[in-house]
Structure 1
Amino acid sequence: MPVTSAGVLLFRRTPALQVFVAHMGGPFWAKRHEHAWSMPKGLLEPGEAPLPAALREFAEEIGVPAPSVDYTELGTVRASSSKVLHVFAGEAPGFEVGELRPGMFEMEWPPRSGRTAEFPEVDEARWADAAEARTLLVKGQLAALDRLEQHLAARA
């Protein structure tokens, strides 16, 4: 059974489409730039609905609540062979993060050392235009960007 997560894909038009992306924290992603960014997202708790999970995870990863805007469900994308991601898009033209205050996670580091270290869930977050986001987002989330563009084109 696939692991299920949910995420928030904030967007704005300036007039070009921009999306809010976060660089994943921890040593595995530290020296990577391309395909090392993500929409704020995380695992659903047992019995939790996807939208509340996406909003909770946004706050945990970024350190501020997701903006109070209307969210549109863009469906699910297969983030990897074992992960399904529920995507919720929200237009947030005025959203900015003054200070990133991400949640932290622990892992064994260095590998097989028996020591644990604490790392931020994300170490940078910012707006990126859609073309740049295609080189930043992990490949499993590119379908979410496609869905957002299709959704906006259908509304135009």
Structure 2
Amino acid sequence: MTYSGDSTVQAAGCVLWRRSPVGGRLEVCLVHRPKYDDWSHPKGKLKPGEEPLAGALRETAEETGYTAVPGTRLPTVRYVADGRPKQVRYWAAEAASGGFTPNDEVDRVLWLSPTAARDRLTQPRDRALVDDLLQIPDLT
């Protein structure tokens, strides 16, 4: 396949969090993608002309079933996937409402403490985002 211009894949996602229903502690949502057999933050490719924040919220809702309230912008993650550069813009986002239903892209979600989430994430680049989340005032 031939790519013209900038061939960087544009994607966006959220580090989705909530307060535990039991005890009120901070929990981070991770998604399991059976296609890759990995644990990650909800994210996906942007549609043509889609704003990154809108794409991040759309992908989060599609993958987790939760609507999210966006908060602090987190660092952009860059890496190579399938031989192409990829750029993923992230936001911290609080889960507002909804519930998970398994689908073709995501078969499981877990709500974990930040430490457990860090340990469960497949890619080291995703672990740094948990650390970034914990730097946000009033979250911890």
Query: What TM-score, normalized by structure 1, do the two folds share?
Result: 0.68
Q: Does 1:75 align with 2:78?
A: no
Structural RMSD (CA): 2.4
Unaligned runs of 5+ in 1: 30-35, 103-119
Which amino acid in the other structure matches residue 143 of structure 1? A
Asked if structure 2 preserves the Cα contact closer than 8 Å seen for 1:8 and 1:89, the reply is yes
Question: Counterpart of 2:101?
Answer: 100
Question: Does 2:67 align with 1:66?
Answer: yes
User: Structure 1 residues 132, 3: CA separation in 2 closer, same or farther (over 3 Å shift)?
Assistant: same
The answer to whether residue 117 in structure 2 is matched with residue 145 in structure 1 is no
For structure 2, the residue ranges without an aligned partner over 5 or more in a row are 1-6
- Find the counterpart in structure 2 of residue 42 from structure 1: 44
For residues 90-143 of structure 1, give each alpha carbon's deviation from its aligned partner in whole angstroms, at most 9, with x where no partner exists: 233x6562x4142xxxxxxxxxxxxxxxxx211101201111111222222112
How far apart are the structure 2 equivalents of 1:144 and 1:86? 11
Task: Give the distance between the partners of 2:52 and 2:75, measured in 1 at CA.
Answer: 10
Change (3 A) 1:56 1:17: same
SS in 2 for 1:75: strand
Is the radius of gyration larger for structure 1 or structure 2?
Answer: 1
Residue 84 (structure 2) pairs with residue 84 (structure 1) = no
TM-score normalized with structure 2 length: 0.75
- Percentage of matched positions with identical amino acids: 38
Q: Would you say 1:135 and 2:119 are equivalent positions? A: yes
Question: CA–CA distance in 1 between the matches of 2:28 and 2:98?
Answer: 12
